[in-house]
């Protein structure tokens, strides 16, 4: 796909994302626009549930590209991330070739592409791809540090060297999105190859807009109350603050319960949708909830 089909400006980028239901604030729209135009990976770090993973899915839909996802985990290695040889098929081939092929022929044949199992990274740079995909490397902080060293070749040159086969290089670079929840720092060498953006919790106006797009059936007054309440919660010193994902979930839960406004009883019974730690729930169920609801009432002049 040529760059002519990429958004032409920051505004274009924001509008195209929004058309897919994703609200990007100016700084994120800028980073995304530049990542697309400069063919650089986009590195997103930030609060949980703030749309880091979602933007990769949205970009794939928006640009009509396949999404290839690499979910990182402790112990992820080359075999899990890039490729491995199909050992079982190779053994079978040896059995079948017994007495027929010479040793040299056999060892050459055994490392042919048909015995290669392609994992996410290799799939993403496969020169056979009709269009360059979106490659999501999700939660890189969960992988071990040595894995990052291996990523460097992929991120800077969009290529992987397979000792038995040679160099595999993308014809057109994939669009790469890397996310991290910052449970540890990612190495500078990786970050330097990327455009970096910190994804914060959205402000109230942005969150309301996200809610309008994602849960359009929520009445406007309820949506406003939900957002104001959650923005208030995020000012508390809780162990885990609710993300946008929780805002959406909670709105759906409240609709399911036919709630038209936030009242103390409904709030009390649905806090588990927003908060996932008992200490946080206990704290909010106590005086904080009443105080936040009172603030809402005053702010609305009711
Ligand atoms: N800016 C946004 N515009 C539209 N929807 C959003 C936005 N941010 C978050 N969401 C919604 O919140 C949900 C959670 O987002 P996502 O999974 O991308 O979060 P995340 O930042 O990857 O979180 P985690 O760190 O927990 O993986 C998405 O499914 C999406 O519906
Ligand atoms: Mg995520």
For residue 186, give the nearest of 146, 131, 231 by alpha carbon. Answer: 146
- Closest ligand to C-alpha of residue 181 is 1
CB within 8 Å of 202: residues ≥ 6 apart: 23, 25, 50, 210, 244
CB of 33 shorter than 6 A to ligand 1:
no
Q: Is the C-alpha dihedral spanning 222, 224, 227, 231 positive or negative?
A: negative
195 lines ligand 1 (CB under 6 A): no
User: Do 125 and 170 form a contact (C-beta atoms < 8 A)?
Assistant: yes
pTM across the whole model: 0.92
- CB of 23 sitting under 6 A from ligand 1: yes
247, burial (CB in 10 Å: exposed 0-12, middle 13-18, buried 19+): buried
pLDDT attached to residue 76: 96
At 302 the pLDDT is 54
Contacts of 63 (CB under 8 A, 6+ apart): 1, 5, 6, 134, 175
The CA R_g of the chain, rounded to the nearest whole Å, is 24
Q: 274 CA to middle of ligand 1, Å?
A: 14
Distance CA 248, CA 185 (A): 29
Q: Tens digit of pLDDT per residue, the chain (302 long)?
A: 444 489 999 999 999 999 999 999 999 999 999 999 999 999 999 999 999 999 999 999 999 999 999 999 999 999 999 999 999 998 998 888 887 877 777 777 888 889 999 999 999 999 999 999 999 999 999 999 989 998 998 998 999 999 999 999 999 999 999 999 999 999 999 999 999 999 999 999 999 999 999 999 999 999 999 999 999 999 999 999 999 999 999 999 999 999 888 888 899 999 999 999 999 999 888 778 888 888 888 888 75
C-beta of 197 in contact with ligand 1 (< 6 A) = no
State the pLDDT at residue 277.
Answer: 94
22 C-alpha vs ligand 1 centroid, how far in Å? 9
Helices 289-299 and 220-233 cross at an angle (nearest 10°) of 130
Interval between CA 246 and ligand 1 midpoint (Å): 9
pLDDT at 123: 97
Query: For the chain, first and last CA: distance in Å?
Result: 54
**Which ligand does the CA of 54 lie closest to?**
1
- Say yes or no: CB of residue 53 within 6 Å of ligand 1: yes
- Pick from 275, 188, 192, 186: which is nearest to 236 by CA? 275
CB-CB neighbours of 66 under 10 Å = 15
- Return d(Cα 283, Cα 238) in angstroms, integer: 8
Distance 78 CA to ligand 1 centre (A): 28
- CA–CA separation, 194 and 179 (whole Å): 11
pLDDT of residue 119: 97
Determine how many CB atoms are found less than 10 A away from the CB of residue 89: 13
The token pair at 209 is 């807009």
């Amino acid at each position: 796909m040529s760059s002519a089909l990429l958004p032409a400006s920051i505004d274009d980028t924001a509008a195209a994302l929004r058309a897919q239901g994703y609200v990007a604030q100016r700084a994120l729209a800028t980073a995304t626009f530049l990542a697309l135009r400069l063919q650089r990976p986009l590195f997103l770090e930030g609060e949980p549930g703030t749309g880091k993973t979602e933007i990769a899915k949205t970009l794939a839909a928006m640009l009509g590209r396949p999404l290839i996802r690499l979910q990182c985990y402790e112990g992820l290695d080359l075999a899990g991330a890039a490729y491995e040889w199909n050992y079982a098929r190779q053994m079978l081939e040896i059995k079948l070739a017994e007495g027929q092929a010479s040793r040299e022929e056999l060892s050459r044949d055994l490392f042919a592409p048909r015995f290669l199992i392609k994992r996410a990274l290799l799939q993403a740079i496969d020169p056979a791809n009709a269009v360059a995909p979106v490659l999501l490397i999700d939660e890189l902080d969960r992988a071990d540090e040595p894995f990052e060293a291996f990523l460097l070749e992929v991120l800077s040159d969009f290529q992987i060297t397979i000792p038995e086969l040679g160099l595999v290089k993308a014809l057109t670079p994939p669009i790469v999105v890397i996310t991290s929840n910052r449970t540890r720092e990612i190495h500078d060498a990786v970050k330097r190859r990327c455009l970096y953006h910190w994804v914060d919790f959205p402000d109230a106006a942005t969150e309301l807009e996200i809610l309008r797009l994602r849960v359009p059936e929520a009445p406007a007054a309820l949506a406003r109350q939900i957002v104001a309440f959650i923005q208030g919660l995020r000012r508390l010193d809780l162990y885990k603050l609710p993300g946008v994902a929780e805002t959406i979930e909670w709105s759906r839960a409240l609709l399911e319960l036919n709630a038209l406004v936030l009242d103390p009883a409904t709030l009390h019974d649905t806090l588990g949708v927003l908060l996932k730690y008992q200490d946080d729930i206990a704290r909010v169920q106590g005086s904080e909830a009443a105080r936040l609801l009172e603030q809402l009432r005053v702010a609305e002049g009711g």
